[in-house]
Structure 1
Amino acid sequence: MSFEAIVDDYIREYRPSARGELAEFRKLRSLKDAIRYANLCHWLPSEKRHPHQYRIPAAALLMSRASFSASATV
């Protein structure tokens, strides 16, 4: 499969979903809210975890969030 075919496949199969997700992030009230959702791997607006993130323990996500929040100036 050529690089061009891979890109075309991505555009056809994944771009609409990615654009929808970005649109949901734009609806959030603040950058802090967007970071919270992203850090916890939540899909907006359902707040369920992204399917490819289910193996990460919730405790690890919360620790990561706390660590990020402590170091970020948002």
Structure 2
Amino acid sequence: MWNGIKTKSVLATKENLSIKMTLDALKATVNGNEYTLTQTPFATPENKLYVNLRFISEAAGATVSWDNVKKIATITTK
């Protein structure tokens, strides 16, 4: 859920997982625990919001791998 007007934050929830990120901020929370991001979430002029997919995937328990030769990211869930 995007709350752009009041807090400029995005909240993703599923079962017992809650991830909150704020536009242009290097801090995020997962189930209330604070983490430092390597890249801030940002919005484009076309009003699209981009977030760090590796952070979200790993917070959700997925494994992320990168094939540097093929330039392909693979996200594996249980």
Shorter chain as denominator, the TM-score bin is: under 0.3
Greater RCO, CA 8 A, separation 6+? 1
TM-score, normalised by the number of residues in structure 1? 0.26
Larger helix proportion of the pair: 1
TM-score, normalised by the number of residues in structure 2? 0.25
Q: Which has the larger radius of gyration?
A: 1
